[in-house]
Every structure is written in C-alpha cells, then in structure tokens.
Amino acid sequence: MSAINSGEIDLAVVGAGPAGLAAATTAAELGLAVSVFDENATPGGQIYRGIEAVAAKRGADFAVLGDAYRAGESIVRDFRASKAAYAPNTGVWLVQKDRQLGIVRDGKAGMVAARRVLIATGAQERPVPIPGWTLPGVMLAGAAQGLLKSAGMVPAGPVVLAGNGPLLYQLAAQLVAAGVKIAALLETRSERAAALPHLPAALMAGNYLAKGLGLIAAVKRAGVPIRRGVTELRALGCERLEAVEVAAGGRTERIDAALLCLHQGVVANVQLSLAIPLKHEWSAAQRCWRPVVDQWGNSDVEGIAVAGDCAGIGGAEAAAHAGRIAAFEAARALGRIDAAARDTHAASDLAAWRRHLRARPFLDALYPPAQGLVVPADDVPVCRCEEVTAGQVRDAVRQGGTGPNQVKSFTRSGMGPCQGRMCALTVSEVIADALGKPVAEIGTYRIRPPIKPLTVGELAALE
Amino acid sequence: MSGTDFIVLGGGLVGSAIAYGLARRGKRVAVLDEGDVAHRASRGNFGLVWVQGKGLGMPEYADWARLSADVWPEFAAGMKERTGIDLNYRKPGGFQLCLSDEEMAERIAFIDRLREQQGAKGYDCEVVDRRRLDNLLPELGPEVVGGTYCPHDGHVNPLRLLKALHKALGGAYRPNSKVTAIRPAGGGFRIEAGQTVHEAPRIVLAAGLGNLPLADMLGFKLPVRPQRGQILVTERLPAFLDYPLSGVRQTEEGTVMLGSSREEVGYDNGTSPEVMRSIAANAVRVFPRLKHARIVRAWGALRILAPDEFPIYQTVPGHDGAHVATCHSGVSLAGAHALRFAGYLAEGRLPAHFTAFHSRRFDVPKAA
C-alpha cells in the first residue's frame, strides 16, 4: 500500500484543535515535516470552531462568543503561516502501533506512514442520560455551542440549560449576548465545600475564576432564573421536547421548553487512543479514562504521543502548551535537537502548562457529575444507537456479565455507529455500581477500527 | 460445592453448551469462566451453523457437523422455551460462491471428493450455476460464476446463543473464576480458581485456547494453535439477503457481516488494513451494492485449530475423569454438544467412533 502523501512524514498530528495546531506549528518551525489530519473543514477544533469565518465575516459575533474564543485566532493564524501540511475533511479511522494511519477523504481511503504520531483529538461531552434525553429538542450544551460558532444559529422558543460546569455558564452567557431568552438555568449540585481546599491553587492558575464569576454575573444580570441543587431532571414530550421537569427545594417544577441543553462537563476523547490501543487509566477526579502519558505526552507505545484534552481535561490554553511541549519532544526523538535543547525550548511551556493545570482540581471538585446522572435509573436509555436502557445493562450483569465487553455482547450496547462514544462511560459506571466495584476495575469497551465513517467500497479501494 | 457432578472449565460456547446439556440431564454442574477480557472466540465469531465443505479427511467429523445441523432446530427451540431468548436461528440453506471458472472447478472437485468419502450416506451439496443463483440472490456482481448450495446450512445470532446458554445455566455459571490449578484428589479433581476451590469427580476442559494451559496443568500437551480471522460488520441495511453465504450474511438486525480470513499471527486478535481491505473487496465483488454501506466495526478473533483443523474429544491421558473438548466450530456444533456430547459424558462413555477425534491421530511416526 502506498502512502497518499508522496513525501515522508516526520510527525502526523491527528486533530486540529489548540493542541494539534500548536504542536504542528512548533514542530514545523523546528524543521520537521508535519501533516495535520482533521475531520473538520477548517482548523480550530471544537473550541475554536469556525474561528476564521467569524474573524473574516462575522466579527460582531466575537462579542457573543467571548474572549476565550477569540484567543484561538492567533493559534490558527500561526498554523496557517507555518510549513505544516494540512488535510482537512479527513477522517483518521485507524492508527496502528507501527505508526501507519488509515485516512479517508472525499470517498478515498489510504494509508499513511509517519515517524511519529501525535494524537490531539480533544475532549467530548460527558453523556447526560436523563429520562427523555433522546427526544428531539434535547442536546448537549457543547453541540448547541458548536451551532452558534459555526453557523451563528440561535434557537427559537424557550431554552432551558441544565447540569453544571463552566461550559454551561459560558453557553448561557453567549446565548444571553445573542439575545436569546433563557427560561431557566438548572444547576445540579456543585460541591463548594469539597472544592474549597483547591481554591488557593486555582487562584494561582490564572484568571479562570474571574472569568467564571464574570460569566455567572452576566447571566444573573440578564435576569435568567437560576435554580441550584436540582435533582430528578426529566425531558418531557411526545414527538419532541415540550417541557423540562425538575425537583428543587422539595418540590417539582415543570418548565416549558423548546430546547434543553444538557451539560455535565467534558471528558477526554479516548476513542482513538483506546483503538490503538494505548495504555489507559481511570481518572477518579475527572471520572473518565485517559491514556497514561509522561509530561512530554509520550504513551506506552514508542513514537505515539498524546497532547491536550484527550490526555485528560486541562482546557484550551493548557492544550496549546501541551502541543508545543510534545512538538519539542518529537524534535528530540527524531534527532533534530538534543535533550538539553528540548528542555530549554520547552521550559516556559512546561511552566505555563503546569500553572493552567492547577485550576483543574478546583473545577473538578466543584462540578462533579451528579451521581443520579452517571448512574441512571432502569428506564433511561444509555446506548442511543441500539436503544439499550440502564436496566438492560443491570440485567446482563445479573446474568453473569462481568464487564462492558460481555455486557456489550449481551445487550448490543456500544455496537451501533458511534461505537460506544456516547455510552461507554455510562455503561462502565452502571456496571461498577451494580457490582459495588470501582470503575477502574471494570474497564471499558474494546474499541475497534474504523473509528471514523468508512464505507465498504472505500475500504475495498484502500491504497 | 460438594455435590457437583461436573465442573466445566470454560464458559464460552463449547463449555456452556456442554454444561447446559449436562444440566438438562439432571447433572449438577459448575461452569468456571474468566472475566470480561479473555480470548473469547465466542464473542468474535461469524455466526454460521455450517455443514458444507466440512470433514474431508475425517468422515466422522463430516457426520458430526451434519448431525449438529440436524439437531439445531430442536436445540434452538429448547433454548427459546427455557430462556425466552430467540436465537434468530434460520436454516434456509447456505451458499459458497465462486468468482472465477477455476475457483468453480476447484470447488466442484472438492465437493466431489467429500461425496466420495461419505459414500452411501450421500452428501447434500449441489452445484448451482449463475442463472439459478440470480433467482435466489439479489444483484450479484458480474464476476460471480456460480457456487455450491447445502440445504443444511444456516445462521444464528451467536451472541444471543451465548447469552441464552448463560441464562439457562443460571447460578451454575461462575465468571471471574480463572483456573489457577487442577489437582487430582480422591478420585476426582480439586480446582483452584483465584480464592475459591471447587471439587468434582469429573471435569471437562472446554476453554478454547484456554485449554492449552489447563491441559498443561495435567501434564498434557494439547496440539492446538490460534488462527486469526477478521470480520467486518456494516451499519443496518434493509433486508436484502435471504441466505447466509460462507463469507457474507445479513443479521436479523440488518447489519451485514463480512468475513473471513485466515492468518497465523499467534495470539494477536487485532486487525490489519490489508486483510480488512481484501474482505471488503471480496464483498463488493459479490454484492456491488455493499459499496455504499458504512462499516461500523472490524475485529479479529482467534480460531482454535488442531493441525488437521478437526475437533479433539478425549480424556486426558492418565486422568479418566478429565475430558477435553476442543474445536473451532462452537456455533455449528452447539446443538451436538448440548444434545449429544453432554449425553455421552453423562453416561460415562464416548461412542466407539469418537476414537477418531482423539489426539493420538497426530502421533504418526515421522516418515523416514
């Protein structure tokens, strides 16, 4: 099989978010032949989605989307100015341990070889399985935000936001700035007492708290009704969402809604790193899996590194530093610079990266996902593709299913087109809960290629 | 654990089917299985209940495969009755297709040899030309020249089969019980599985590739090896295919399974793009319409093969109470394992013709 790119690739970067772009720019500056593969049409990833279009044609939207979004402008600009090759609209459906990448673009699949691979596939939203979450009109907050960024689309009709985490407040502030009327912001329990010990470190990390408080203040100023400590969230409706039901302060409330945006934080997107597979560990603080990497991003597989949120949630700014750190290490590993030069080059990024990460323990402790949402009741669907409920998962466990792979075999959970992206965490949590064991012992689905859409015909014509 | 008649080591399709058959006959059984992650051919197989082409070189195996297909309807009905689980077993007969005249000629010669071997019993497998195929299979690719059809072939949802067997076994199925030691004790066996100890007068080694270390514990070198097969599965498509083919079948859910390859790669159950590509390319040659179907998943699984690829059934030399059942056709043979083989074990003796399945068949002196 010949490589699609004729030239040799020193560093193949998967993902064009802050980590991937910063890594590619830096590695190219150091003289490496870099190729960035990304499934989106334009660079920026989820966090800076559509930023070039906004900068060029919709400058006014920066006021809506905020300064944190605008920070992506320079990262994308530097990347465009670099010598790194860029393959947009390109799915990476396979990464092998020998650093062969399976890619697909415009209906053509091919294999590409690289001396080193950097996985920078970012974060994904934690699923929020509540009764009715599969109704049209219910979406995850990040998806709603994506529409706002890429298309400037604002929802019509009453909007309810529910869950917790910084992104929920950011979306609320953006919607308010866009003139959308928010019927209610329903916040599940935040753990101020548990978070307090981590506050001093977070204060040293930068302006995270000030930004967060600013967002909350803006939402309050706009008169958005906020309910705190809500439980028993339900999306109601027949054909589509009609209302949201919630318990707060000992009583149940019903709020009419055309759009419900759910959020329970973001988690590392480990689909690709699991498929290779790299060694992973359970992060109890972030309640998700992440690949085991050293400070340079090196995984347990020689020549394959991971940087940014897909190695554990640190946020966009930390991700950009992690990308640069990984680029310096790539240059060292490929013999362009020695270890001493790498250490010198990377010193300021390492310091900044660690400083940003100091905010995480506070945020992770303040906004833990609600127990009732990570371990839903029996009648709640957990696998949307195959329509498997939490109760069916528990049944499979009662019949001797000891882990997610046996449960997958017996229920079809995780067998649909998303390959468990949307249900893996929930299924492992439900099994752990049912067996009274920690999730770390339960494990997760074995992920198999292709992890991005690929047709039989494309594979048959693989070059 | 006292009062157990049989401990079955291995909770895949072979071990579970045998244990289910023993339990059906009133035997008290325990099935010791590993946890979520193991070799598990039972979770990775293609799902055919297949007869055609099997047993050239060992008539007893050709008969055994056919017998299993004959009892499969009764077996599936029994599983449904006991567990409420429909195995999606269908027996419309199956095809193996040929993509060139040479392939067709080879196939015909192969089936003729089998027919000759089976002699007076006959061999139900007919050659079907392209014209007749066009009436039975939809929109075949231009390269398909013909194939063979066997009315005893069928297919099943193998995951439902495993689930139903475990459900039927109930509390007798014990996961997370990886066996760490087998010790002969008081005329029977003492099995250590992690922190627990189990005892029974008779045991059955039915753990697929896991049988290698288990037999080793009794000083027996079992002559089997892993052989990898890769499978692709597509998204759900509207029903278009009424018959299973040797490398293509549409499931009850609508997904299409594509297989299957043979690779000698040891215990690596991963996938490789070259083999995935060739499976996809073959599928498109047979059914061009599959070109547009999205692949949901590919995987590798390990067959359990003896040097001649036929099953091994015997007792462990020097341990009359320790039986071995090792084969790569855990789906096809599930009917025979549950409804016949378990009966032989329960009665305490294998039929005389089962000596053909003994591993001493490999002990031929090397030619000078």
Does B145 share its domain with B104?
yes
**Considering its fold, how many domains does chain B have in total?**
3
Interface contact flag, B43 A448, Cβ < 8 Å = no
Interface contact flag, B295 A406, Cβ < 8 Å = no
CA dihedral sign of residues A121, A126, A131, A135: negative
Residue numbers of B between 140 and 169 with CB closer than 8 Å to A: 159, 162-163, 166-167
Mean pLDDT along residues B117-146? 96
Residue B367 lies in a domain: no
Does the pLDDT value for residue B1 go beyond 50? no
Cβ A365 vs Cβ A194: under 8 Å: yes
Q: What is each CA distance from B104 to A253, A259, A417, B99, in whole angstroms?
A: 71, 60, 37, 7
Interface contact flag, A405 B291, Cβ < 8 Å = no
pLDDT score for B319: 96
Does B265 share its domain with B298?
yes
A457 in reach of chain B (CB within 8 A)? yes
Chains A, B: CB contacts under 8 A, how many?
108
Does the pLDDT value for residue B337 go beyond 60? yes
Task: State which H helix or E strand residue A354 sits in.
Answer: helix A339-357
Domain with CATH 1.10.10.1100 in chain A: 375-442
Report which of A301, A278, A293 is spatially closest to residue A323, judged by C-alpha positions.
Answer: A293
Interface contact flag, B296 A100, Cβ < 8 Å = no
State the Cα–Cα distance between residues A195 and A192, nearest whole angstrom: 5
pLDDT score for B367: 54
B77-99: pLDDT as tens digits: 999 999 999 999 999 999 999 99
State the Cα–Cα distance between residues B246 and B95, nearest whole angstrom: 6
pLDDT score for B178: 95
- For residue B196, the SS3 value is strand
A4 in reach of chain B (CB within 8 A)? no
- The separation between CA A237 and the C-alpha centre of its own chain, rounded to angstroms, equals 29
State the Cα–Cα distance between residues B207 and B15, nearest whole angstrom: 7
State the Cα–Cα distance between residues B174 and A25, nearest whole angstrom: 54
State the Cα–Cα distance between residues A372 and A188, nearest whole angstrom: 10
A403 in reach of chain B (CB within 8 A)? yes
B352 in reach of chain A (CB within 8 A)? no
Does B339 share its domain with B356?
yes
pLDDT score for A132: 96
Does B217 share its domain with B236?
no
Q: Which tops the pLDDT comparison, B162 or B37?
A: B162
Residue numbers of A between 426 and 455 with CB closer than 8 Å to B: 442-443, 446, 448-450, 453-455
Query: Which residue numbers in chain A have pLDDT < 50?
Result: 1-5
Give the best residue of B8, B33, B36, B176 to mutate against chain A (max A CB count within 10 A): B36
B293 in reach of chain A (CB within 8 A)? yes
Interface contact flag, A96 B273, Cβ < 8 Å = yes
State the Cα–Cα distance between residues B265 and B267, nearest whole angstrom: 6
Does B144 share its domain with B164?
no
pLDDT score for B368: 46
- CATH code where residue B329 lies: 3.50.50.60
From the CB of residue A254, how many other CB atoms can be counted at a distance below 10 Å?
A: 12
- CATH code where residue B259 lies: 3.30.9.10
The range of the structural domain enclosing residue B40 comes to 6-80+158-222+308-362
Q: Scanning every residue of chain A, which has its alpha carbon at the shortest distance from the alpha carbon of B288? A: A457
Distance from CA of A359 to the nearest CA of B (A): 36
B269: which residues sit within 8 A by CB, 6+ positions away? B39, B44, B228, B299, B300, B301, B302
B173-222: pLDDT as tens digits: 999 999 999 999 989 999 999 889 999 999 999 999 999 999 999 999 99
Dihedral, A15, A21, A24, A25 alpha carbons, nearest 10: 170
State the Cα–Cα distance between residues B261 and A6, nearest whole angstrom: 31
Query: Could you say which of A96, A403, A449 has the minimum Cβ distance to residue B35?
Result: A403
State the Cα–Cα distance between residues A253 and A230, nearest whole angstrom: 10
Does B141 share its domain with B166?
no
Full 3-state SS string of A149-161: HHHCCCCCCCEEE
Does B198 share its domain with B254?
no
Does B292 share its domain with B254?
yes
Q: Domain boundary residue among B150, B168, B198? A: B150
Please give the ipTM for the structure prediction: 0.94
Give the best residue of A96, A388, A406 to mutate against chain B (max B CB count within 10 A): A406
For every residue of A65-133, DSSP letters joined together read H-HHHHTHHHHHHHHHHSS-EEE-S-EEEEE-TTSEEEEEETTEEEEEEEEEEEE---EEEPP---TTT
Domain with CATH 3.50.50.60 in chain A: 9-124+267-337, 127-264
B361 in reach of chain A (CB within 8 A)? no
Residue B292 lies in a domain: yes
State the Cα–Cα distance between residues A398 and A332, nearest whole angstrom: 52
What angle, 0 to 180 degrees and rounded to 10, lies between the N-to-C axes of helices A424-435 and A404-411?
A: 110
State the Cα–Cα distance between residues A429 and A415, nearest whole angstrom: 18
B286-334: pLDDT as tens digits: 999 999 999 999 999 999 999 999 999 999 999 999 999 999 999 999 9
A219-275: pLDDT as tens digits: 999 999 999 999 999 999 999 999 999 998 889 999 999 999 999 999 999 999 999
**Summary mean pLDDT of chain B:** 95
Interface contact flag, A403 B36, Cβ < 8 Å = yes
Interface contact flag, B296 A419, Cβ < 8 Å = yes
Residue B234 lies in a domain: yes
Interface contact flag, A419 B297, Cβ < 8 Å = yes
Does the pLDDT value for residue B365 go beyond 70? no
Residue B368 lies in a domain: no
B197: which residues sit within 8 A by CB, 6+ positions away? B1, B190, B191
Mean pLDDT along residues B259-276? 94
Would you identify the CATH topology of the domain A127-264? Answer: FAD/NAD(P)-binding domain (3.50.50)
Interface contact flag, A456 B297, Cβ < 8 Å = no
Interface contact flag, B175 A462, Cβ < 8 Å = no
A404 in reach of chain B (CB within 8 A)? yes
Please list every residue in chain B whose beta carbon sits closer than 8 Å to the beta carbon of residue A435.
Answer: none
Mean pLDDT along residues B53-59? 96
Q: Which of the following CATH numbers is that of domain A9-124+267-337: 3.50.50.60, 1.10.3720.10, 2.60.120.10, 3.40.50.1580? A: 3.50.50.60
Please list every residue in chain B whose beta carbon sits closer than 8 Å to the beta carbon of residue A100.
Answer: 273
Structure tokens at B225: 């090896």
Give the best residue of B277, B278, B290, B299 to mutate against chain A (max A CB count within 10 A): B277
pLDDT score for A4: 43
Please list every residue in chain A whose beta carbon sits closer than 8 Å to the beta carbon of residue B176.
Answer: 402
Does B179 share its domain with B62?
yes
Does B144 share its domain with B163?
no
DSSP annotation of B337 reads I
Does B21 share its domain with B168?
yes
Query: Per CATH, the architecture of A375-442 is what?
Result: Orthogonal Bundle (1.10)
B131 in reach of chain A (CB within 8 A)? no
Does B163 share its domain with B76?
yes
Q: Domain boundary residue among B125, B150, B175? A: B150
State the Cα–Cα distance between residues B260 and B329, nearest whole angstrom: 14
